[in-house]
Chain A
Amino acid sequence: MRGQRRRVVNVMMNWLTALSAAVVVLPLILILVFLVYQGASAVNLDFFMNLPKPVGEPGGGMANAIVGSVILVGLAACLGLPIGILGGVYLAESRDRCLPWVIRFLADVMNGVPSIVIGIFAYTIIVLPMRRFSAVAGAFALAVIMIPIVLRTSEEMVRLVPASLHEAALALGIPQWKVVLRVVLPTARAGIITGVMVAVARIAGETAPLLFTAFGNRFWQLGLNQPIAALPLQIFAYAIAPYDDWHRQAWAGALVLIALIFLTSLTARIATKGRFGGVR
C-alpha cells in the first residue's frame, strides 16, 4: 500500500542520514584513538625537554619546536590582533559608505585563500629581501591568516553589544572614542577573546605557510631573524622520514599539538555557549 511504502521510506531515510552522521564521526574517533595509542608512549620528559637528536640516539625531543611554535604564535598575535580587533571595531562602528563593505569582502576572500599561497606571499615579501628564512617571516604569514578571522569575529561581538548601551553613554556627553574603549569593548571583551582563541587554535596547527618562511630548525635557535622550529613542521619532517623512532616522536608531537588545540577550542566554545542559545 502506498502509505506503507511512504512510512518505510521515512524510516529508511532516518537511518541513512543517521548512518552518514556516524560515518562522518568515525575518522575523528579513529584518529584520536591512534594518536593516543601511538603517541602516549613517546610522550615523556625527554620529549618536552630535549632537542632533536640524530637518528639512533635515544632521548630526542621536540622542546625547541614547542617553544618555537609558542614564539611564532605569540609574534603573529602581536602583529595580527591589533589590526584584527581594531578593524573589527571599525566594521561595527563606522558610518563610512564604501570601505567597510570592501574590507568585509576582502576578509571573506582571504578566509578562503589556501595558507600555502599566503606562505608564498610572506616568502616574497620578507624572506627574499632578508635573504634568509626567519621567525619573522613565519609569524607574518600566520598573522595574515589570523587577521580576517579575528576581524570578522570581533565585528560580530561588537555588534552584539546592545545599541541602547552605546546611546546611553553618548547621551551622557561622553566622546565616542571613550564610549567604545570604556563601554563597548569591555562588554564585548569575552566574545572577542573567544574569537582570538579560535584564531590562535587555527594558526597553531598551520604547517604549509611555515615551510618556506620559518623553515624549521634542529637547535635552540630562537632569534627572530633566524629559521625557527615549529611543532607542526617538526611533525611533518619526522612523519615523512624513514625512521621508526622519529615516527613515534611525530605521534607524540601530534598528540601534544592536538591537545593544545582542543583545549583552546574547547575553552573558547564553553565561553560562548550561553551567548548563542541552544541547538534547535
Chain B
Amino acid sequence: MARAAAPQGGTAEGLSLPCVLPSKRAVRGWGDQLFRLLLRSAASALLAIVTAMVVVMVRAATPAIKAFGWRFLITSTWDPVTEHFGALPLIYGTIVSSALALLLAVPLGIGAAVFLAELAPLWIRPPVVFLIELLAAVPSVIYGLWGIFSLVPWLRQYVQPALGATLGFLPLFQGPPYGVGMLTAGIILAVMIVPFIIAMSREVLLAVPNTQREAALALGATRWEATRIAVLRYGRSGLIGAVLLGLGRALGETMAVTMVIGNRPEISASLFAPGYTMASMIANEFTEATSDLYLSALVEVGLLLFVVTVAVNGLARLLVWSVGGAVHEVRE
C-alpha cells in the first residue's frame, strides 16, 4: 500500500480496509457518505473552474476569431482605431524575448544546478540553494521595478553603446540605445526563470542513482567526467523538461516585461528596439479596450497564450517525470 511514496502521476492508492471487516466496506455510514461527497465536490470544483475558464474565454474570443480567422496570427497591424488586429508582433515579441531568456538562463541555470548537485563542497550548498529559492519568491512587479531603475539605465549608458560599437555590424545590435527593449526584457526574463530551471534541474540530477556516478568513477573518471557521462546523460530528458518549464514561465511573465520592453507592437530585427509580448499587451490595453471587438481580440491573445503555455508545460512535465519517477513541483 503505497501511501507515503505514491508517484505523482499515477492513480491514488486509496486506503485498504482490513479484510476482516467486510461488513464495514459494504455499509458506509452516512457520515462517511457525506464526507466523501464533500471531498469529491471540492475536487470537482477545480474541474468546474478549468472548464468554465476554457468555455468562457473561447466564447469571449469568438467575435475576434470570427472577424480575423487565421490571419490574426500572421498580420502585423494592431490598430484599435480601424479595428484591425493582428497578433504577429506580439507573437514575435514573446518568442524572441523568451528565446533570449533561455539563451542566457539555460547555461547559467544548468551550470549552477550541476555545481549545487554534484561538484560543490557540502557546506556551500544549503546557503546557495536558499538564496536561489528566495530569488524565486520575488514578485514580478519588483523585478520590474529593479528593471526600470537599475537595469535599463545600465543598459542604456554602458552595455548597449558598447555592444553597438563592437557588434554593430549585426542587425541585432543596431539602432539607438533606448535602454528599454527586447534585450532588457530578455535579460530580466532570464533572471526570473533561472531559479526554476535550477530547482528542477537540481531535482533531476539528485534523482540519478548514485551507482551511476560510482560506475564512472571506478573507471577512472574525474568528478566532472563522471558528471558528464553518468549524470548529465542519464538525466538528459529531465533537464530538457526543466528547460521547457522555464520556457513556460517566460512565455507567461507579464509585469516585469511590461515595465521594460517599451510596449510598441512592432517587429524589428534589432534587440535594442522596443517590442511587445502577448502578456504585456493584455496587461497594458485590457482596461483601455474601447470596443467589443478590441476586447475580444485581447481575449483571443489570452487564449493563444493559454494554449501555448499549457502545451509547453505539459511536455515539460512528461519529460521531468521520466527521470527517476516522481519529481515534485517546485516550492516557491
Contact = CB atoms under 8 A, between A and B. Distances in A.
A100 B254 contact: no
B306 interface: yes
Interface in B307-325: 309-310, 312-314, 317
Interface stretch (B36-44, B64-72, B234-242, B265-273): B36-44
A202 interface: yes
A9 B131 CA distance: 28
Interface string B76-87: 000000000000
A144 interface: yes
B35 interface: yes
A175 B29 contact: yes
Nearest to B221: A6
A78 interface: no
A151 interface: yes
Contacts of B26: none
Nearest to B228: A13
A235 B145 contact: yes
Interface in B136-181: 137-146, 148-150
B309 A258 contact: no
A149 B259 CA distance: 27
A269 interface: yes
Interface string B95-113: 0000000000001110110
A270 to B, nearest CB: 11
Per DSSP, chain B at the interface is helix
B310 A109 contact: yes
Contacts of A170: 15, 17-18
Interface residues of A, number: 109
Given A10-B222, A27-B135, A27-B191, A86 B46 contact: no
A219 to B, nearest CB: 18
A30 B111 contact: no
B43 A31 contact: no
Interface stretch (A41-49, A55-63, A205-213): A205-213
Contacts of B52: 121, 125
Interface of B: 1, 3-4, 6, 8-12, 14-15, 17-18, 28-29, 31-32, 34-36, 38-40, 42-47, 49-50, 52-53, 56-57, 60, 107-109, 111-112, 114-117, 119-120, 122, 125-126, 128-135, 137-146, 148-150, 191, 194-195, 198, 206, 222-225, 227, 245, 248-249, 251-255, 259, 279, 282-283, 286-287, 298-299, 302, 305-306, 309-310, 312-314, 317, 328-329, 331-332
